[in-house]
Structure 1
């Protein structure tokens, strides 16, 4: 029989301590405190052995012991350590552990840290499980928490990420609302004002993807009313040219506008994807050549 690893030995000691009987009324707390310490040691030992699932499991057991002792701060930290271990290949378990962390942080009024963990969940959904809809929900929740803590720049970044995902999911009205919200915030500071034209362009592309050139035209005027320098930007001229080509039902005119914009400002993947959706809708329009 192979010798037990140090981590395995510690885990067995922790299990034994956690399930030991006697002293329930006088020292139940101390029993779980000691078991929690042993689970933590086992978890760290598993981590050194690169056994990340086992490490996460042991941290989760530690968290449960801390909860039994009403040590909410330590319980939250243990769940976060579990999440960090699970992130090495076990995304669903990492999300569950982060959700436990968040409930402890929120209960303690630590919303800024809760927002950080919610943003981590969004990134796991996005990068590991490709669940764009749930990533969207988490970015929104994180954004709301950051906003409540007056972390406006970080909140806006989360709202912008959610808007990008809404557009990818063809939920264009929700995307427009968020882009406009971020743009409105950005207008209030000279440091962020420069980025407004990008948010408005994205909002206008979403409106065009809905096939609504009338609202697109109105929105162009609304944005100029909010900042008259917008009318001189390449972003405004591009959106306006696209709208006109759609109104004319002219795919050639549309393509020329895209090529011209891309020549100076390289199109990213998000814009390329939505521009293709819009182009397809012009080609499918009945009676257009």
Structure 2
């Protein structure tokens, strides 16, 4: 029989402690405290062996012991440690453990930390599971919590990520509302004012992707009134040229404008995708008119 690893030995000790009946002089609390410490040691030993599923499971059992002792902060930390181990092997288990962490953090009024963990969930949905809708929900929830904790810059970054995702799943009105919200929040600070034109450009593209050049035009006028320098920017002029091309059903003018803009300011993937969607709609309109 192969020798047991140190991790396995610690895990068995922890199980034994957790399942033992408390003696005359020891309380159930101290039993679970000791078991929790042993599970934590077992988890760390599993990590040394690169057995991340086992490490996550041991941290989860540690968390349950902490919960039995009413130690909310320690339980939150144990669930987060479980999530970090699970992240190496299973996005779904990581999300479950992070959700447990968040439950403890929100109960304790630690919304800033809860927002950090919720944002982590958003990143897992986005990068590992490619579930844009759920990622979007997580970013919005994180943004709400950052916002109520006065972490406005971090909240805005999450609102902006949510807006990008709303647009990718073609929820354009929600995307526009979020871009406008972030822009409004950024107008009053010299540090963030420069990025406002980018949010308004994205909002304009969303309106065109919706097939609504009239709203796009109205919004551009509204934004120019909010910031008088906006109408002299390349972003503003670009959207106006695109609106004209869409209204005229002129694919050539549209493609020319996109090419010219890209020569000076490289288009990112998000813009490239949405500009292709708009171009397609011009082609479809032309087919209808034929």
Q: How far is the alpha carbon of 1:24 from its aligned partner?
A: 8.4
Aligned residue number for residue 269 of structure 1:
269
Please give the secondary structure, in 2, of the residue aligned with 1:79.
helix
- The equivalences for 1:92-171 within 5 A come to 92-171=92-171
Structure 2 runs not aligned, ≥5 long: none
Please give the secondary structure, in 2, of the residue aligned with 1:228.
coil
Alignment RMSD: 1.1
Using the size of structure 2 for normalisation, the TM-score is 0.98
Aligned residue number for residue 259 of structure 2:
259
Q: How far is the alpha carbon of 1:287 from its aligned partner?
A: 4.2
Aligned residue number for residue 210 of structure 1:
210
Aligned residue number for residue 199 of structure 2:
199
Aligned residue number for residue 86 of structure 2:
86
Superposed CA deviations along residues 100-122 of structure 1, whole A, max 9, x for unmatched, are: 10111111111101100101110
Q: How far is the alpha carbon of 1:26 from its aligned partner?
A: 5.4
Structure 1 runs not aligned, ≥5 long: none
Using the size of structure 1 for normalisation, the TM-score is 0.98
In the aligned structure 2, how far is the partner of 1:287 from the partner of 1:93?
49
- The equivalences for 1:32-51 within 5 A come to 32-51=32-51
Superposed CA deviations along residues 105-153 of structure 1, whole A, max 9, x for unmatched, are: 1111111011001011100111111111100000000000000001000
Superposed CA deviations along residues 201-231 of structure 1, whole A, max 9, x for unmatched, are: 0000000000111111100100000001000
- 8 A Cα contact 1:59 1:78, kept in partner: yes
Q: How far is the alpha carbon of 1:22 from its aligned partner?
A: 3.9
In the aligned structure 2, how far is the partner of 1:276 from the partner of 1:164?
16
- The equivalences for 1:171-186 within 5 A come to 171-186=171-186
- 8 A Cα contact 1:43 1:59, kept in partner: yes
Extract structure 1 runs of 4+ deviating beyond 6 A: none
In the aligned structure 1, how far is the partner of 2:219 from the partner of 2:24?
68
- 8 A Cα contact 1:249 1:288, kept in partner: no
Aligned residue number for residue 3 of structure 1:
3
Report the more deviating stretch, 86-95 or 279-288: 279-288
